[in-house]
């Protein structure tokens, strides 16, 4: 089975390397960076093709001979790349995390009879899948909280941060308005707001702030109280807010001595070297998912926890592992015919299929990535005697 991975960054490379270990797959990678392609060829024997996805027709040509496609391009290219893949009638696993509504392509996917698994990473991704799993089991879902962090193990001022995925997508995360559900209504808040502190075992106290990570859950899970929060080392949000509120992330060009420049391009050029992960840098990914609801008339709370670290044996970052291996297992799931529904399929739809959930969790556990689950009843005010 021919698989084409679009994007040879840290995550795309991890997906390609993992899939190439299976004899049933013939893996090729497409990317505009010849250095990334050469590294995959020299170290892992994976063939590559230099492709600029911003060019008309480039994506269609890259996937023409594919049986399955993985889209791991930067978010700003994600929607039109996915559209091109669907127009080519190819099944696809997508982790581009683009800002547009993926359901805008649902009719195209269904008309062409292809499955498009979107947001198929760690968060969004496994977070959505596990929320979907528990929501399907409950009579009513009353509250959802998702906390997620990808952090360097060594803290270096001023930002104490390294990007485990495309740095331009990190800036997008810090500027995109964050959608949450409060009192049954959709609310839009500024990213980096609603700051709280969270104690994480083995790491310490982190700060958590809202980001726009609920995505398709807003439309697919009926719940009156939902929020996703990104966690960083304390003080990070204040530094980023200062840059954002001072206009450094602005997309409108300004004139500087006769030259027209976008502030975000200048900020990116300065920040990316500071945020770039280098050889020897190690990271950790932690996530906590909490779903409250009712079952059989009783309140119940279910929680999942993830704690994953840099793999020193393979030199694979934790963010690449948790995101990339999820996508790689989703490819295997489609290849085996475990999920066949056509259309735009967010992870929470897959979460309703217990066979698929078990397949993904088992595959991830074989790669050292586990999601321990705990469930406990919640005392209602009446049961506890409180008013």
For residue 94, the enclosing domain spans: 2-122+317-366
Structure tokens at 338: 């475990």
Q: What is the pLDDT of residue 383?
A: 44
Instruction: Look at residues 309, 331, 351 and tell me which one is the last residue of a structural domain.
Output: 309
151 and 246 co-located in one domain? yes
- Could you give the CA distance from residue 117 to residue 279 in angstroms, rounded to a whole number? 32
Q: What is the pLDDT of residue 169?
A: 80
> Does residue 339 lie within any of the structural domains?
yes
145 and 208 co-located in one domain? yes
164 and 287 co-located in one domain? yes
> Does residue 95 lie within any of the structural domains?
yes
- Could you give the CA distance from residue 185 to residue 246 in angstroms, rounded to a whole number? 31
99 and 171 co-located in one domain? no
DSSP 8-state symbol, 276: B
Per-residue pLDDT of the chain (387 residues; tens, 9 = 90+): 999 999 999 999 999 999 999 999 999 999 999 999 999 999 999 999 999 999 999 999 999 999 999 999 998 999 999 999 999 999 999 999 998 999 999 999 999 999 999 999 999 999 999 999 999 999 999 999 999 999 999 999 999 999 866 677 889 889 999 999 999 999 999 999 999 999 999 999 999 999 999 999 999 999 999 999 999 999 999 999 999 999 999 999 999 999 999 999 999 999 999 998 888 899 999 999 999 999 999 999 999 999 999 999 999 999 999 999 999 999 999 999 999 999 999 999 999 999 999 999 999 999 999 999 999 777 654 444 433
Q: State the CATH number of the domain containing residue 18.
A: 3.40.50.720
141 and 267 co-located in one domain? yes
**Burial status of residue 288 (CB atoms within 10 A of its CB: 0-12, 13-18, 19 or more):** buried
134 and 118 co-located in one domain? no
241 and 139 co-located in one domain? yes
Q: What is the pLDDT of residue 266?
A: 93
Q: How many domains are there within the chain?
A: 2
Q: What is the pLDDT of residue 379?
A: 62
DSSP 8-state symbol, 12: H
Give pTM, 2 decimals: 0.92
Q: State the CATH number of the domain containing residue 162.
A: 3.30.360.10
- Could you give the CA distance from residue 112 to residue 103 in angstroms, rounded to a whole number? 15
> Does residue 67 lie within any of the structural domains?
yes
How wide is the angle at C-alpha 308 spanned by C-alphas 306 and 311, nearest 5°? Answer: 160
> Does residue 301 lie within any of the structural domains?
yes
118 and 136 co-located in one domain? no
Q: What is the pLDDT of residue 165?
A: 66
> Does residue 33 lie within any of the structural domains?
yes
- HSE-CB at 264 with a 13 A cutoff on CA atoms is 14
> Does residue 384 lie within any of the structural domains?
no
303 and 326 co-located in one domain? no
> Does residue 53 lie within any of the structural domains?
yes
Q: What is the pLDDT of residue 387?
A: 31
204 and 276 co-located in one domain? yes
Instruction: Look at residues 268, 289, 309 and tell me which one is the last residue of a structural domain.
Output: 309
57 and 147 co-located in one domain? no
Q: What is the pLDDT of residue 56?
A: 93
- Could you give the CA distance from residue 180 to residue 226 in angstroms, rounded to a whole number? 6
């Amino acid at each position: 089975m021919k698989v084409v991975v679009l994007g040879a960054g840290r995550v795309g490379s991890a997906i390609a390397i993992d899939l190439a270990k299976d004899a049933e797959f013939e893996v090729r990678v497409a990317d505009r960076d010849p250095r990334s392609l050469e590294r995959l060829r020299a170290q892992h024997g994976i063939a590559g093709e230099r492709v600029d996805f911003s060019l008309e027709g480039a994506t269609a040509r890259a996937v023409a001979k594919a049986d399955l496609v993985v889209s791991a391009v930067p978010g700003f290219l994600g929607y039109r790349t996915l559209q091109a893949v669907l127009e080519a009638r190819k099944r696809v696993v997508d982790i581009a995390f683009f800002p547009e509504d993926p359901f805008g392509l649902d009719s195209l996917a269904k008309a062409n009879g292809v499955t498009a698994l979107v947001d198929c990473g760690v968060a969004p991704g496994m977070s959505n899948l596990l929320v979907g799993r528990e929501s399907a089991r409950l009579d009513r879902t009353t509250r959802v909280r998702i906390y997620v962090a990808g952090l360097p193990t060594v803290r270096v001022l001023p930002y104490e941060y390294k990007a485990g995925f495309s740095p331009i997508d990190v800036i997008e995360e810090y500027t995109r308005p964050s959608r949450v559900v409060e009192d049954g209504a959709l609310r839009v808040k500024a990213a980096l707001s609603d700051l709280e502190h969270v104690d994480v075992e083995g790491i310490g106290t982190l700060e958590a702030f809202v980001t726009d990570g609920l995505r398709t859950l807003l439309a697919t899970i009926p719940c009156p109280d939902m929020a996703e929060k990104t966690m960083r080392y304390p003080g990070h949000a204040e530094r980023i807010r200062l840059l954002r509120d001072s206009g450094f992330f602005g997309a409108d060009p300004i004139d500087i001595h006769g030259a027209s420049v976008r502030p975000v391009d200048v900020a990116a050029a300065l920040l990316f070297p500071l945020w770039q992960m280098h050889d020897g840098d190690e990271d950790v990914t932690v996530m906590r998912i909490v779903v409250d609801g009712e079952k059989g008339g009783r309140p119940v709370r279910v929680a999942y926890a993830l704690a994953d670290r840099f793999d020193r044996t393979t030199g694979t970052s934790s963010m690449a592992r948790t995101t990339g291996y999820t996508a790689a297992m989703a490819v295997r799931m489609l290849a085996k015919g475990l999920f066949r529904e056509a259309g735009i399929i967010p992870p929470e739809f897959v979460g309703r299929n217990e066979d698929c959930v078990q397949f993904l969790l088992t595959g991830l556990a074989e790669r050292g990535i586990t999601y321990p689950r705990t469930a406990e009843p919640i005392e209602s005010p009446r049961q506890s005697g409180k008013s």
